Amino acid sequence: MRSVCQNKLIISLALSLLLLPALVACGSGPAPQELTRALKLADGRLTPDQFQVNQGDTLTLRIESDRPGSIHFHGYDIERELTPGSTAEFRFMADATGRFPITFHAAAEPNASSDHHDEGGQGGNAAGEHQHQTDAPADSAELELGFLIVLPR
């Protein structure tokens, strides 16, 4: 015959095994998802101007623009060239949490920029690359468009 202590031990173990899956499920958030977001840049405004995803989600962005330039997601250091009439697409895992600014960098006007080449090897940068200079005001060349918000899972 079993003792009262043995019966209590068996009941405790059985309850623990039954409750374990429920406890594990409570501690975890939603499973990572594959998400696609369509963004539109028109008249200097991004639609939507902010969106949120959960940490661990894989995000595909499709961006259409009415002007040439590039779009930059700060914190993730993701930048893509934008060409009017086409869609820029890129994919990444949202692994860093926080609020990340989205910035548009306008392409320089053909008459407003000039390439400065260092033909004689004097000055310039160590890699020998040419530098671009633009006469456009800084505030017209860069627009803060919105935010990517990544929530912890």
**pTM of structure:** 0.61
Q: Is 65 part of a structural domain of the chain?
A: yes
Radius of gyration, alpha carbons of the chain: 27
In angstroms, the CA 46 to CA 138 distance is 19
> Does 60 map to a domain?
yes
Rounded (5°) CA angle 73-77-81: 65
pLDDT tens column, 121-133: 333 333 333 333 3
In a domain, 118, yes or no: no
Residue 56 parent element (H or E): none
* Confidence tier at 19 by pLDDT (50, 70, 90): low
Is residue 8 assigned to a domain? Answer: no
Tell me, yes or no, whether 85 lies in a domain: yes
Predicted confidence band at 30 (pLDDT cuts at 50, 70, 90)? confident
Count up the domains in the chain and report the number. 1
DSSP letter, residue 116: E
Which domain range does residue 55 map to? 34-109+135-151
41-97 confidence digits (pLDDT tens) = 999 999 999 999 999 999 999 999 999 999 999 999 999 999 999 999 989 999 999
- Residue 24 domain-assigned? no
Distance (Å, rounded) from C-alpha 104 to C-alpha 98? Answer: 20
In-domain check, residue 14: no
Distance (Å, whole) CA 102 – CA 80: 12
Residue 38 lies in a domain: yes
What CATH code is carried by the domain that includes residue 98?
Answer: 2.60.40.420
